[in-house]
């Protein structure tokens, strides 16, 4: 009986060590900050689609989601990795990005990544958290 107990204990311990990463575990490794009220304040002195208005619309449609902004080295790594993912296409477009917001949805497998430049909404992608982590990790190599 002890043998079976040790076997199952060892099996479950090893199984948990090799389990898939939890998406929230990725976020804990990244440099991020939650969005503040200033992130939703619309800049009216722009002639493009407002990034802040896009955030407001998202918050209206999905009030239960707590988005966060990528900052510091993680932002640089994301942008470098995003260039690699796009095979260095649209490099000028990517170089202009100064704000990246992650809109996680823990109930689904895909998250939204919103990108902006000088208060203008630039682009968005829908991506799985493990692929986002891979982009950030690839950007570390540059």
| pLDDT given at position 20 | 41
Residue 52 has pLDDT above 90, yes or no: yes
CA distance 73 to 26: 15
| pLDDT given at position 8 | 45
Confidence class of residue 107 from pLDDT cuts 50, 70 and 90?
confident
Where exactly are the structural domains of the chain? 21-140
Burial 1-34 (b: 16+ CB within 10 A, else e): eeeeeeeeeeeeeeeeeeeeeebeebbeebebee
pTM of the predicted model, to two decimals? Answer: 0.78
List pLDDT tens digits, range 27-39.
668 899 999 999 9
Sheet strands (E) in the chain = 32-34, 68-70, 99-103, 111-117, 120-127
Residue 88 has pLDDT above 70, yes or no: no
């Amino acid at each position: 009986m002890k043998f079976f107990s040790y076997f199952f204990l060892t099996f479950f311990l090893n199984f948990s060590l090799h389990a898939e990463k939890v998406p929230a575990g990725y976020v804990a490794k990244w440099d991020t900050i939650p969005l503040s009220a200033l992130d939703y304040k619309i800049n009216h002195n722009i002639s493009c689609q407002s990034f802040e208005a896009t955030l407001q619309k998202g918050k209206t449609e999905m009030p239960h989601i707590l988005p966060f902004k990528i900052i510091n080295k993680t932002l640089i790594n994301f942008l470098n990795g995003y260039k690699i993912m796009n095979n260095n296409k649209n490099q000028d477009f990517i170089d202009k990005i100064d704000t990246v917001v992650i809109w996680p949805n823990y109930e689904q497998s895909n998250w939204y990544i919103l990108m902006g430049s000088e208060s203008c909404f630039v682009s968005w992608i829908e991506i799985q958290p493990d692929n986002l982590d891979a982009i950030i990790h690839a950007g570390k190599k540059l």
